Structure 1
Amino acid sequence: MKNLLTIFFLTVSLSSSQVQSQQLIEQTAQKVGIETSKIFSKLATFQSFKNGTLIIIPEIAEEGDGYGILNSHIILLDDKTGEVKAKFSGQKDWHLDAVSIDKIEIEPKLYQLSETIVAYGLKLYHSNQSRPNPYSSTELSLYALEGNKLNRVLKDFPIKTFNGETNTTCKGEFEEHCKNIQVLDTYSNEFADLKFTNEIELSERNEDCEKIKTETKTELQFLKYENGEYKNVL
């Protein structure tokens, strides 16, 4: 009986939490002029911080047979007043097609880009459904809080990629990149430089999905802030 009661209360608690999350997203959408029917709920999410709650609302811009295009809305709410503190909106930012967006995730940490400016990290997880050519990626975008605005200073930077050529099972050749970010104590145009350590693995797998050959290497990549965004250093 205790186990049944525990399951019941957990189910009620989860359902209540989902309803509250949906209400928060819909109420925020109304505040910034997004129609409820245009919210792509599957990818909407939020994360609480000390300075407010960051809410991501993908808005359907176009949709058709096998594809969709979404406007991006990144909104920072004041937890005490419920008012919008800052926001960013991008037109036709996110695409759903052969390579779909599986999930959008807000990083729980802030990036300190200067003495006064912090940035929120947003990760987009992509994948396709191809057996002969599997592909997945994770892309990082950074949104800097500057006064009452959120400015996108890094857009869709790949921090993880995986691709391969197979015989439609496990057997094949694969390439994987995994980048770790470090905020440096050197600055360009008053914004901290970014360093990415890229761990690269080239591998072959047999029919049992076992790695039979592996080659690894490491590369460094540096980004500097210039004209409102981070760019590769050549």
Structure 2
Amino acid sequence: MKTFKKPFLIIFFLSLAFNCLGQEKSLLLFEQTAKIIGIKNSDIHLQFAVSQDFEDHLLIVIPEIAEEGDGYMIFNSNIILKDKKTGEIEAVFKGEKEWYSDAVRIDQIEIEPTIYQLNKTNVSFGLKVHYANQSRPNPTSSIELSLFAFDGEKLNAVLRNFPISQHHGETDTTCKGTFEIHTKELKISTFYTNQYADLEFVNSIVLYEQDDDCEKTYSQSIEKVETLKYKGNQYVSNQ
């Protein structure tokens, strides 16, 4: 056992060192980028700041504190696209008071690793915001998707805060209760509206009940398809 202890400790401390170095690099990236676009370091909410590497681009999301009070925070969104080769900023999208975190709090902001091709000249980047409350009788969580299309010059929000996951329950604060779950999977359609591909969301709906022992006593599954079409300057539901 002793022969394994020293190599294990070396690996552990090396991993810890690389992790700390990665965090320092991320912090530096966020602060340098924020300075370029005019955001104070004190206004960056680092817990939710995130970046994602793509083949030719680096996408950075910097939540900027717009307002905060007792039990709530409001954030401006800052979506920055950089050229990986040059390091230059290619486009910036700013959303005023875009995200609210209160009784239903923000848990995470996530950049999707997939790029969506909307037409020959526009690709889009996906951004997910995870929400949840802390209610035992009425637990709720959700994920909202936004798509930002890049046309070579600008980032445009073509889909904003569209719910792709919803979980809601009514319980006795322990196990017994009724629950409803919606999970939507995005598919890029082969059909086009106003020169943009339609978005098809396959909505898998599960309704179920639990007893006092947390065992399911009833379950029903439904599947629906919702199509969003590009009209004006964004995607809207066709329903």
TM-score by length of 2: 0.96
Aligned-partner SS, 1:159: strand
**How much has 1:147 moved relative to structure 2?**
2.6
Show the 5 A alignment for 1:174-185: 174-185=179-190
CA distance in 1 between partners of 2:214 and 2:115 (Å): 38
Judge conservation of contact 2:144–2:163 (CA < 8 Å) in 1.
yes
1:65 aligns with 2:70: yes
1:38 aligns with 2:36: no
1:217 aligns with 2:222: yes
Show the 5 A alignment for 1:1-234: 1-234=6-239
CA distance in 2 between partners of 1:161 and 1:134 (Å): 11
Report the identity percentage. Answer: 50
CA distance in 1 between partners of 2:85 and 2:237 (Å): 39
Report how many aligned residue pairs link the two structures: 234
CA distance in 1 between partners of 2:160 and 2:221 (Å): 27
CA distance in 2 between partners of 1:55 and 1:170 (Å): 40
**How much has 1:82 moved relative to structure 2?**
1.9
CA distance in 2 between partners of 1:81 and 1:111 (Å): 23
**How much has 1:175 moved relative to structure 2?**
0.4
Runs of at least 5 residues in structure 1 that lack an aligned partner in the other structure = none
Q: Which residue of 1 is the match for residue 3 of structure 2?
A: none
CA distance in 1 between partners of 2:213 and 2:61 (Å): 40
CA distance in 1 between partners of 2:52 and 2:112 (Å): 8
Runs of at least 5 residues in structure 2 that lack an aligned partner in the other structure = 1-5
Judge conservation of contact 2:56–2:85 (CA < 8 Å) in 1.
no
CA distance in 1 between partners of 2:223 and 2:57 (Å): 38
1:60-109 per-residue CA deviation (whole Å, 9 max, x = no partner) reads 00001101100000001122222210110000000010001100000001
Runs of 4+ in 1 over 3 A off after TM superposition: none
Aligned-partner SS, 2:63: strand
**One-letter amino acid matched to 1:170:** C
CA distance in 2 between partners of 1:150 and 1:170 (Å): 45
CA distance in 1 between partners of 2:41 and 2:23 (Å): 16
CA distance in 1 between partners of 2:125 and 2:46 (Å): 21
TM-score by length of 1: 0.98
Aligned-partner SS, 2:213: coil
RMSD between superposed Cα atoms in Å = 0.8
Of 157-166 and 80-89, more deviation after overlay is shown by 80-89
**How much has 1:146 moved relative to structure 2?**
1.7
CA distance in 2 between partners of 1:78 and 1:50 (Å): 10
**How much has 1:207 moved relative to structure 2?**
2.0
